[in-house]
Amino acid sequence: MLEDLDPAETREWVEALDSVLAFEGADRAFYLLDEVTAELDVLSRADLLRFLREESQQRAVTIIYASHVLEGLAAWATHLAFLSPGRLRRFAPLGEVAELLPGGAAALAAAAPGTPSPLHQLCEQWMREDRPAIARARAPAVTS
């Protein structure tokens, strides 16, 4: 058996999946896709996302799509699950994430051309807030 490279991250994923299962119900099929579009060109990514949306709608499948590439996902996704170190920071329908609603904190700068999407801005903000905890977790243990 392979050693778990990051037990804390695995635990976070399991907690996120438990939240989704509680919301969706255990009788629904699930696909867990982690960074599947990271190396795709723009057209291939768009085609795959279109296919996944059709699968979800036609077959009543829940797709859990993990990605660091956030552009274009706000129009595609129905829910947001954000993992922070050691916890599921947010799980909610996109329409209920206050920071993404008009006037929300992440939406303030969205009107300027070339500005990242509100979803991108919000996730960047959360990642910056998480950076100190990640650095502490990765720091070598100090022994006396």
pLDDT tens digits, one per residue of 24-56 = 666 667 777 888 888 888 888 888 888 888 888
The size of the chain, in residues, is 144
| Cβ burial, residue 72 (10 Å; 0-12/13-18/19+) | middle
Residue range 70-113, pLDDT digits in tens: 888 888 888 999 988 878 899 999 889 988 887 776 554 545 66
Contacts with 33 (C-beta within 8 Å, 6 or more apart), sequence order: 52, 63, 64, 65, 66
Phi, psi of 83, rounded to the nearest 5 degrees: -95, 125
9: helix, strand or coil:
helix
What confidence tier does 6 reach under pLDDT thresholds 50, 70, 90? low
* Residue 1: predicted pLDDT: 41
Which residue type does 72 have?
G
